[in-house]
């Protein structure tokens, strides 16, 4: 992974998002356990993508770097170096954690369905393969069995297969991939005037899911 540019340094506290490894331990040979309520500190230089404790202010950005579905809401503190879509900090405290697989897949289904509505409003019918992907996502979220390999007939489906079976990162790639790949979710995300609403909806789905697990 290439090193991302740094846009500024600051001190203080920032609320952010971070997808941790599935084993709840720091990656890259560190191995320290990730525990809710505990603060982890990095000693040494801070360099984005290389050294320090990483996170993203936007959940959509954090999803790009996910290695599992394990999502942490974190407070970053001490020295903070900010980049385009992530930051690196001296201290990071996990405020709460959740397995975000279901809300992430629900979000991706909504992005697809939103695009279908826009396409029809413009007099065009959506690609049936993408509609099959959206239906499979809804079924998966509802707990119904889904044969993802049977619907792997488009770029969007291929990404969702990876998201469903292996890592959260594929779900984000499905939503942000090039429009030329025939991906309806990407087309919805690519319209910059909607990015804030899309981010807010993703956070809302995660919060709603977390609330059901707490009750």
pLDDT tens for 98-117 read 999 899 889 888 888 888 88
Question: Residue 151 has what pLDDT?
Answer: 65
Kindly list the distances between the CA atom of residue 41 and the CA atoms of 24, 69, 150, 159, in Å, as whole numbers in the listed order: 16, 23, 46, 35
pLDDT range class, residue 180, cuts 50, 70, 90: very low
> What are the boundaries of each domain within the chain?
6-99, 101-214
Q: Strands 39-41 and 6-19, how do they pair?
A: unpaired
Number of Cβ within a 10 Å radius of residue 77: 18
- Give percent of the chain with pLDDT exceeding 70: 74
The answer to whether residue 201 scores a pLDDT higher than 60 is: yes
Between 98 and 149, the more confident residue is 98
Question: Residue 181 has what pLDDT?
Answer: 35
Write out the CATH class of domain 6-99: alpha beta
pLDDT range class, residue 43, cuts 50, 70, 90: very high
79 beta partners: 11
Question: Residue 206 has what pLDDT?
Answer: 94
The answer to whether residue 175 scores a pLDDT higher than 70 is: no
The answer to whether residue 178 scores a pLDDT higher than 50 is: no
Task: Please give the mean pLDDT across all residues of the chain.
Answer: 79
Mean pLDDT over 122-145 rounds to: 86
């Amino acid at each position: 992974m290439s090193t991302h540019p740094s846009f500024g340094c600051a001190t203080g506290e920032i609320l952010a998002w971070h997808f941790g490894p599935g084993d709840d331990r720091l990656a890259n040979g560190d191995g320290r356990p990730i525990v809710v309520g505990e603060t982890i500190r990095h000693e040494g230089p801070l360099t984005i993508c290389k050294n320090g404790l990483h996170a993203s202010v936007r959940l959509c950005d954090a999803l790009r770097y996910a290695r599992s579905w394990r999502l942490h809401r974190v407070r970053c503190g001490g020295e903070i170096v900010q980049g385009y879509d992530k930051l690196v900090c001296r201290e990071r405290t996990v405020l709460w954690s959740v397995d975000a697989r279901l809300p992430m897949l629900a979000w991706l289904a909504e992005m697809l369905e939103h695009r279908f509505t826009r396409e029809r409003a413009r007099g065009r019918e959506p690609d049936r393969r993408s509609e099959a992907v959206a239906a499979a996502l809804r079924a998966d979220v509802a707990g119904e069995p889904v044969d993802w390999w049977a619907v792997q007939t488009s770029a969007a489906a291929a990404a969702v297969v990876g998201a469903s079976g292996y890592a959260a990162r594929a779900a984000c790639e499905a939503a942000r991939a090039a429009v030329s790949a025939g991906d309806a979710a990407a087309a919805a995300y690519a319209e910059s005037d909607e990015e804030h609403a899309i981010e807010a909806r993703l956070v809302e789905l995660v919060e709603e899911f977390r609330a059901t697990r707490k009750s």
